[in-house]
């Protein structure tokens, strides 16, 4: 009897950056989908469902430490496992 790992529920706020306090490594073991204002987004770096925003990179611009500059967009956010 092999027991599969249970799928952890998606948090209200999640970030892809491992340095962030909102990064949950167990969630990233499966592929996550983000729907923003009814459209699928593939470039989301961070999201918050309750506050209704996502952060996406601004082109290829980076800050002085080499991390991408992020733009906050507000709207309806839905997160799900693919």
In angstroms, the CA 47 to CA 30 distance is: 17
Q: How confident is the model at residue 31 (pLDDT cuts 50, 70, 90)?
A: very high
> Residue 3: its pLDDT value, please?
58
Ramachandran angles phi, psi of 52, nearest 5°: 75, 50
Mean pLDDT throughout 6-23?
92
> Residue 33: its pLDDT value, please?
94
Closest CA to 34 of 21, 43, 25, 26: 43
Q: How many CB atoms lie within 10 A of CB 1?
A: 2
In angstroms, the CA 12 to CA 22 distance is: 9
Mean pLDDT throughout 3-23?
89
> Residue 2: its pLDDT value, please?
57
In angstroms, the CA 10 to CA 28 distance is: 10
> Residue 5: its pLDDT value, please?
73
pLDDT in tens, 51-80: 999 999 999 999 999 999 999 999 999 999
């Amino acid at each position: 009897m092999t027991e599969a790992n249970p799928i952890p529920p998606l948090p209200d706020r999640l970030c892809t950056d491992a340095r962030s306090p909102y990064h949950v490594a167990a969630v990233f073991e499966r592929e996550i989908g983000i729907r923003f204002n009814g459209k699928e987004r593939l470039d989301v770096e961070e999201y918050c469902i309750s506050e209704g925003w996502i952060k996406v990179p601004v082109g290829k611009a980076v800050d002085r430490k080499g991390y991408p500059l992020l733009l906050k967009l507000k709207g309806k956010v839905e997160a799900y496992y693919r």
